[in-house]
Chains A and B, each alone.
Chain A
Amino acid sequence: MTESKRMDQNTLGSYRIQPNPQINVTFNRENIQYSGGDHLRAHYIVEGIESQSISAVERSVVWYTEGKGEEDLGVIFFERIQLGRRKDSTQISSTSLSTDHMTGALATELPHSPVSYEGIIVKIRWCVRIRIFFQSGRDFVSEHIFFLGSVPVVRLPAKIEQ
């Protein structure tokens, strides 16, 4: 299992009400390189926050575009886990979340398209997104990139090739 490159974002920018969690994701492929039709399995651990502060967790497998254009997004796996409270205010834990630290797993079959692409003004990225919703109303998202397909990086526009 390999821990992939992580990009974390807090939707409320620099207004930090409480510390951000640390989310680590490990994939079933060491080189995080997949082909169309492969099964992707990912395991994640949420650390650094109290489980009582979480109201919901969303995990998804998405592709998105990056570059000069507006972002387009495609979701191939999505699951939302709502954490409830009993009448005596104790928290109900989901079967996939432990009370000591937040862990979970997801699995999905990957489509044949679109493949990961590093173009110049258009790029296509695949990632696993773990989004934590807090009781305070804010949310925190962590992206973990993996690669679908093996299209090489686009070089600078070349001269005429023969």
Chain B
Amino acid sequence: MSTLVFQNPFSTRFVQPGAIPWFAADTSLSTLLFRLYDVGNRAIICGPHGSGKSTILSHLASVAQRQGLKVHCLRICSWIDAIRVMRVFATMNPKQSIVSVDSWELLGFFGWFLCQFADFRGICVVVTVHEKPWWNNWPVLLHTKANDKTFQRLVYGLMTKFAGSKTIEFSNAMLKDVFQRHSGNLREAFFELYDHYERQSRRTLSAK
């Protein structure tokens, strides 16, 4: 019996932050990093759910690493993670390191305190939030917002690189519909495409 592999290009391993590429028409990752240095080494990436904040953060970390900086990547799950952030802020060398923190707003009150501490130590840090907190005076490095053209480009890139079957296609109209239905949340849109792809793959198998 022949063994088949149904590689779904919308699997988590291909669409998670860091795996999926990021592109913007008017700026590059290196430019973003220089902008971060220009605005004082502490900044926010702001945007709605599934708009690519974590992806940009992951790619910025790679660029920083290539420039010789030591990178600390933190992802916040709850306010308790403030202890981890505090530990990193307290022990790192501000001149040779950069910290990226995903989901900064989950720190709550401790976020304000950590902002002051980062300012005091002169730490280079980039954080992601859904909305800029009123108590945080760090500048906004980038507002993320996906559009359907970017979504289509990403989908075709994933299909070209990772799709196990070359016979499955998605029309532009269908992709636009999926994107709008999820209000620009790329993550949710990819999950829906995952289900579509699986159904089509197995229908093809059944037809054979």
A and B touch in the complex (CB under 8 A): yes
| Chain A contacts to B: CB under 8 angstroms | 5, 7, 12-15, 31, 33, 64, 66-71, 116, 118, 120-121, 123, 125, 137, 145, 147, 150, 152-156
Q: What are 11 A-B contacts with C-beta separation under 8 Å?
A: A13-B21, A13-B59, A31-B3, A64-B13, A71-B12, A71-B13, A154-B202, A155-B202, A155-B205, A156-B199, A156-B202
- Looking at chain B's contact residues, is the secondary structure mostly helix, strand, loop, or mixed? helix
A69 with B198: in contact, given A13-B62, A125-B5 (CB under 8 Å)? no
Interface of A is mostly: loop
| Bound-state Cα–Cα, A156 to B12, Å | 20
Give the docked Cα–Cα distance between A71 and B13 (Å). Answer: 7
Q: Name which residue of chain B comes closest to A156, CB basis.
A: B202
Q: From residue 1 to 56 of chain B, which have CB atoms closer than 8 A to chain A?
A: 1, 3-8, 11-13, 16, 21
Chain A residues with CB below 8 A from B202, complex form: 120, 153-156
B5 to chain A, nearest CB (A): 6
Bound form: Cα–Cα A118–B1 in Å: 14
Partner of A67, one of B11, B16, B205: B11
> Measured between alpha carbons, how far is A97 from B187 in the docked complex, in Å?
43
Report whether B13 and A12 are in contact in the complex, using a CB–CB cutoff of 8 Å. Answer: no
Contact of A153 among B4, B8, B21, B191 (CB under 8 A): B4
Does chain A have a CB within 8 A of B138? no
In B64-81, the 8 Å CB interface with A consists of: 66
Q: Please measure, in the bound complex, the distance between the C-alpha atom of A66 and the C-alpha atom of B19, giving whole angstroms.
A: 14
Which residues of chain B have C-beta atoms less than 8 A from A125's C-beta? 5
B112 within 8 A of A: no
How many B residues touch A, CB cutoff 8 Å? 24
> Which residues does chain B contribute within 8 Å of A153, judged by CB atoms?
4, 6, 202, 205
Known A-B contacts A155-B205, A156-B206; the reply to A68 vs B4 at CB < 8 A is no
Q: Is B110 part of the contact surface with A, judged by Cβ < 8 Å?
A: no
- CB contacts (< 8 Å) of A15 on chain B: these are 62, 66
Is B194 interfacial (CB 8 A cutoff)?
Answer: yes
Cα distance, A64 to B12, chains bound together (Å): 12
- Distance between Cα atoms of A53 and B194 in the complex (Å): 39
Q: What residues on B are CB-neighbors of A66 within 8 Å?
A: 7-8, 11-13
Contact (Cβ within 8 A) A145 B21:
no
Closest to B206 in A: A155
State the CA gap A7–B163 with chains docked (Å): 11
Cα distance A54–B123 in the bound complex, in angstroms: 34
Question: How far, in angstroms, from A120 to B4 measured CA to CA in the complex?
Answer: 13
